Copies of this chain bind each other. A is one copy, B any other.
Amino acid sequence: MLEAMQDWDLVVHHLIDHAAREHGSREHVTHWADGTETRTDWAGIRRDALKMTQALRRLGVGKGDRIATLAMNHSRHLVTWYGATGVGGILHTINPRLFEDQLDYIVNHAEDRVLLYDAAFQPIVDMMRSRWASVEHYICFDPPPGSDAIAFEDWIGAEDGDTEWAPVDERDPCMLCYTSGTTGNPKGVLYEHRSTMLHAWAGIQPMAFDFDATTVMLPVVPMFHAASWGLPWAGAITGVKFVYSAVNDPEVLCDLMDREGVTHSAGVPTVWLAMFQHADETGRDLPNLKQAVIGGSAAPRFMIERLMKHGIRVAHAWGMTETSPIGTVGAPTFDWADKNFDEKVGVVQMQGRSIFGVELRTVSLDDMSTPLPRDGETAGALQIRGPWVVKRYFKADQDAVDAEGWFDTGDVGILHPDGTLQLTDRTKDVIKSGGEWISSVELENAAVGHPAVAEAAAVGMPHPKWDERPVLFVVKKAGAEVTGGEIIEHLKHQVAKWWLPDAVEFVDDIPHTATGKISKKDLRERFADYTLEV
């Protein structure tokens, strides 16, 4: 190595140093659970993060130690991102919506030594405390008056901030996020300083988060979900003004967006649904955003249409905890100007194309060693590789990737000739019938198009001749009446005849995972004794 250019480690300390130096007075607004609002700025975030590293060192917490949070979006949570990593520790953001046994598992698996939490999650702390053996210190971000919890502001307030970040290597871990785990125990993805930095740089590009110094971002995606899509890191690069809300009430969100001049937001589809509902009920306009990032699960067409009609650019993204999470973004294609509105919506509705860094391929569902063509027709198991993709889960004894570095996403998709990804199913949900594959998701999407259907789940049930055949479980809308035959009739116009379910079963509810997705695992367990009539 000649060392012709300068040495500069890819460590997240640079992010907060830059933001505080070049965008120090740029605001952070927090709307707290109790309705109060506080303001700080990038210089304040850095000062407090430095104080936090001192407070952590005083507790004997340092390099490689796991520091957990159980919190909504707010500026103190952001301080913790930079403070925990600043001491050389590993930030572990816990999803408070996890079930009890998952909360038990992940904190013990992570061996968290410190846990910082919102007062709103005091019941979880009280419930779990005796089972969380590794946690030595509990600190509350916003203790109510009279609480005997250690208050975050008091804890860091005892320090002067006159310190330095811990030296770390760029391949050292800086953050730990557990997958929600639709099967088996949650798995920990350990992000490194280097992977986080490259992901952040890639994230600010026009085709993804589109960040510059004028950006005002209200991230609805929680800081405990998939590294908040990397926004807290990426925002530091251009000194984004962050507007946080510790509550997800659509009225609060719309008020904040209007009042604080929010230009960018990001959230799962249900967030936008709630905004629509609020707008419809109150007659108020949707906020005048420049861009809305939608990810987490596929956005329906009407949602994309409505946002785009309102002049909001929609970046429909796909990724997962294992991919930091940005994999693909549905951004304008090179021939954008030649497309009409419907065609544009069609492009955005697919899951977009991979951004530079990550690479996609599909392989045969029957034989994972056979790559499939990008023909826009053949569905296969989606695989991904790149610098911000997991190699080995935390504490795992073998790699999560194959010899060529491909990570199997568990998704089923079609790759188009221009690289556009079209997701069709999950590997474990796709239904194999007579040697061919039926997409459970397409059946469900077609079914919920029926006016009487509130929710639908298609599951492959064992069949003596065809291996599996689809059964559709349906929750009717309140007060609606519909027969199985009518639903089959409705589906006939939308899917191939051999895809039609062998049975439609009406149920009162469909089980969900902690992140709100349909839990086919629980559905299959509930109907373990189900037998198809042949």
A interface residues (Cβ-Cβ under 8 A, vs B) = 1-8, 14-15, 18, 21-23, 25-26, 169, 171-173, 189-192, 194-195, 198, 201-202, 204-207, 210-214, 236-239, 241, 324, 331-334, 336-337, 353-354, 356-357, 359, 385-394, 401, 405, 407, 418-419
Per the bound structure, the CA–CA distance linking A408 and B194 in Å amounts to 28
| Contacts A206-B211, A336-B214, A354-B22 given; does A405 touch B6 at CB 8 Å | yes
Knowing A201-B202, A356-B238, A386-B8 are in contact, say whether A26-B334 is a contact too (CB < 8 A).
yes
Instruction: Say whether B388 contacts A5, CB under 8 Å.
Output: yes
Contact of A239 among B205, B236, B334, B386 (CB under 8 A): B334
User: A235 to chain B: closest CB distance in Å?
Assistant: 11
Chain B residue numbers with a CB within 8 Å of A198 are 201
Contact A337 B194 (CB under 8 A): no
Decide: A5 and B356 in contact? CB cutoff 8 A: no
CB proximity of A46 to chain B, nearest CB, Å? 14
Inter-subunit contact B205/A238 (CB<8 Å): yes
Say whether B239 contacts A391, CB under 8 Å. Answer: no
Task: List residues of chain B with CB within 8 A of the CB of A169.
Answer: 1
Between A213, A386, A387, the greatest number of chain B beta carbons within 10 A of the residue's beta carbon is seen for A213
**A192 with B4, Cβ < 8 A, contacts A206-B204, A206-B210, A206-B211 known:** yes
Cβ-defined partner of A332 (8 Å) among B204, B214, B394: B214
Other contacts beyond A1-B169, A4-B191: 17, CB < 8 A: A1-B171, A3-B391, A3-B392, A4-B192, A4-B391, A4-B394, A5-B387, A5-B391, A6-B386, A6-B387, A22-B354, A22-B356, A206-B206, A212-B332, A213-B336, A214-B337, A239-B334
Looking across the interface, which residue of chain B has its beta carbon closest to that of A356?
A: B237
Asked, given contacts A206-B206, A356-B238, whether A6 binds B214 with beta carbons under 8 Å apart, the answer is: no
Q: Max chain B CB contacts within 10 Å: which of A2, A331, A391? A: A2
Partner of A213, one of B15, B25, B238, B333: B333
Please pick, from B1, B5, B23, the residue contacting A390 in the complex, using a CB distance under 8 A.
B5
Residue of B nearest to A171 (CB): B1
A385 pairs with B332, CB closer than 8 A: no
| Neighbouring B residues of A405 by C-beta, 8 Å | 6-7
Query: In whole angstroms, how far apart are the Cα atoms of A4 and B195 in the complex?
Result: 10
* A309–chain B nearest beta-carbon distance, Å: 20
Question: Complex: how many Å from CA A498 to CA B4?
Answer: 43
Taken together as a complex, chains A and B put the C-alpha atoms of A421 and B24 apart, in Å, by 16
